[in-house]
Structure 1
């Protein structure tokens, strides 16, 4: 059975229906009339740059915890008056100071410990150092950053830390139109929650699964390890 049929069958089993869209994010930004993109785990700004390339012209707010990536993010956004970079910090379930592990490929960096399963599939992702970082909650700043915005899109790419980000965003989710996040089919980081937890979480919070896009696979076996999922509040896209 092809991957798309497997994902579709799995979603139907859980009570969802998958709708087709062109990319994991850009098409919904336009079709849902998004006026604020909140990009958590922005790295150097790849998502924002792609959004601009594909025609999204509204506000972007980026968050990035790594020192070097944050500097590059600020540089890349400098000439875009509608792209704001928040101070260097991580998003989580409660305010704290934490250590974030810096991966060799940057994009796999995480507050969580990396498991051997991940390293075997991507040896270049092994941790090389760690950095101290402030952790805040989205709820604590949401009223301020969401002023004058109606259709808000939340993108989360935090390498296994997604459940912590969502735990600190419970109030914000009531006003967020769509959420895109990277989910895993097997544990790649210690204490990581897997995709089935998030399917259930979003269903309980009145979101509908809009689409799935395959992501990171084990190059040795072809096994799918991560995919992007997009959830939309039904009352917001009618």
Structure 2
């Protein structure tokens, strides 16, 4: 009955000059031009409040912000449902993801990996007062050793060069430099990361700008220990040599993970096509509730 009433309200609001962005069952964003945009997420008690603007481009930005909110909300629920007690934060940058986890109430261990020295220093400072947040100054990949990373691309530093499409989309790819970094395999750092956890239930978050599948392959047989993962998959390739979205998802599914959510990260302004998704996956048989 409550759901029906909610649906009727959403259908009536446009006649009153109110814009409705229907996000999911029980979740919608309502707004008026130039005013604050507000979302009530079903019975969860969660709200989203963002300043509204007046053109289509800004509305698309708002939609992406709503998708990011929903992704974070969804991941928080997955961590609780699957009893996650250690999150591997690969491609940590300045610690944004880990800080969002803490704000959402996650109290387990976080192990962050960030290879760029200047960025790592900011990450280290962010984690210094959190006793269960470990940080490591290295990248993860399929092979151990050293490699060259492209830097000065803000949050888009990558071990891969930009594709022709990427160079056309982002001016930052035409600038920047390179640095030598250390690369470890995931299976070589797992024991240290999980040390002291009696019943480890790890979750793997990857945001490595086209390098996620290499990180995953570096887990070897120990990938089977992870109850879930989060990977940035790309329908449109920003980096030369990065896998197609279907290739990445097929590799994850082949190791027993199933999709629970897909959230757009960026879109082409002119066409609306999604450039990258955050893909959240789990091993269904490992759910604790």
Tell me if TM exceeds 0.5.
Answer: yes
| Regions of 4+ moved over 4 Å | none
- Which of the pair has more CA radius of gyration? 2
Matched, 1:50 2:50: no
Root-mean-square deviation (Å): 2.1
CA distance in 1, matches of 2:175, 2:223: 32
> Structure 2 regions of 5+ residues with no counterpart?
1-22, 25-69
| Residue matched to 1:8 | none
Among candidates 147, 151, 160, match of residue 102 of structure 1? 151
Whether the aligned pair in 2 keeps the contact of 1:44 and 1:73 (CA below 8 Å) is yes
Partner of 1:140: 188
| Cα distance between partner residues in 1 of 2:74 and 2:166 | 23
TM-score (norm 2): 0.71
Deviations 1:23-44, CA, capped at 9 Å, x for gaps = 3532322232210011000000
Question: What count of residue pairs does the alignment treat as equivalent?
Answer: 220
1:29 corresponds to? 79
Q: Which has the higher helix share?
A: 2
Choose from 83, 90, 95 the match for 1:40: 90
Shift of 1:169: 0.7
- For 1:72, what is the secondary structure of its paired residue? helix
Tell me which protein shows more strand as a share of its residues.
2
- C-alpha displacement at 1:150, in angstroms? 2.2
2:257 counterpart of 1:202: no
The answer to whether the 8 Å contact 1:108/1:125 transfers is: no
Q: Deviations over 1:117-159 (max 9, x none)?
A: 1232232354401110011101112123223242111000110
Higher relative contact order (CA 8 A, sep 6+): 1
Structure 1 spans left out of the alignment, 5+ residues: 6-19
Q: Is the 8 A contact 1:138 1:165 kept in 2?
A: yes
